[in-house]
Amino acid sequence: MKKIGVFTSGGDSPGMNAAVRAVVRTGIYNNIEVYGIHRAYDGMIAGDIHRLESKDVSGIIQRGGTIIKSARSAAFRTKEGRKKAYESLKTAGIEGLVAIGGDGTFTGAKIFEAEYGIPSIGVPGTIDNDLFGTDNTIGYDTALNTVVEAVDKIRDTASSHDRLFFVEVMGRDAGFIALRSGIGVGAEAILVPETPTYIDTLIQKIEKGREQHKSSAIIMVAEGDDAGNAAEVARKVKEKFDFYDTKVTVLGHIQRGGSPSAADRVLASRLGVAAVEALLEGKTNQMVGVVNNQIAYTPYEKAIKHHNKLNENLLRLAEILST
């Protein structure tokens, strides 16, 4: 294998640049040419493919986002789109791919390999941390720290004005960010999609805190909670309990940006190196991850089909500490 391509797909996450850097420099170390595929599958179809040298990835390890851009591609879901993508790779002489992203990214790579035989290794890049086969995904640690920093500041205002803040974090299908950041900021309640939310029970918990003379309350809400988003939950609580001045803060896309933490930089570097080495060893259709601090490989099908589950001990811990 003399030429490989690397691309970042789906939602961006802090540390993607560190992963790209690791792929490029590992390729150079092994006398392989590495090509950046800009705008993911859309760029593959359009032939937006350019060789990356060591200097091109210098000074990017600390940068958020992704220098080769990211996108979701409707065209790649069609056979015609994938045929054009294959022709672009063939013209560039690319023999293998490193796909940095999540479920959709790996699904596309799996179908592409089945149709055209282009081997690929996936690198988990998503702040949601819901991919099976790795203890942490690239960007998750940074997102947690971003949320904690923001909520610490919100707590200052909440305490100054006897306010009840509902803070919405990302997590349409998984509550990993809400749970860990909620514990980290000492939230009075944490609402996640994996467990049912009962508004009356939530109100009882808030009332108990008021009786204990708590000057404020923070309710962490994953956007996909069964009771609704933060605004909907706040409205339901306000209808029955109006002691506090109620406010809603949606942290939104600030969770996906910012300079990656040291943990994410190291994780991305390890996974980028392992992905290139896996291609050289003849592996394909697998996601590389870190499990118990060791590099591990999981077939795409398993990584896509299964999802990490919330730690039951952390759910119990959150309940204990919120009393």
Nearest to 218 by CA among 168, 269, 155: 155
| Any domain includes 9 | yes
| Any domain includes 289 | yes
| Any domain includes 315 | no
Q: Is 72 annotated as a binding residue?
A: yes
Tokens of 160: 């100054």
pTM higher than 0.85: yes
Q: Is 155 annotated as a binding residue?
A: yes
* The domain boundary residue, chosen from 199, 232, 256: 256
Tell me what pLDDT residue 23 has.
98
Distance between CA atoms of residues 278 and 26, nearest Å: 11
Tell me what pLDDT residue 311 has.
87
Domain count within the chain? 2
Tell me what pLDDT residue 16 has.
97
CATH number of the domain residue 266 falls in: 3.40.50.450
Do 152 and 242 fall into the same domain? yes
Distance between CA atoms of residues 191 and 222, nearest Å: 6
Do 15 and 151 fall into the same domain? no
DSSP per-residue codes, 154-165 = HHHHHHHHTEEE
Q: Is 127 annotated as a binding residue?
A: yes
Q: Is 105 annotated as a binding residue?
A: yes
Tell me what pLDDT residue 54 has.
96
Q: Is 186 annotated as a binding residue?
A: yes
Distance between CA atoms of residues 170 and 213, nearest Å: 30
Structural domain boundaries enclosing 98: 3-139+260-305
Do 119 and 9 fall into the same domain? yes
The residues that are catalytic are: 128
Q: Is 223 annotated as a binding residue?
A: yes
| Any domain includes 235 | yes
Mean pLDDT by 10 residues, the chain (323 residues): 95 95 98 97 96 96 95 92 97 97 94 96 94 95 96 85 88 92 94 93 87 81 95 92 85 93 98 98 96 96 84 90 82
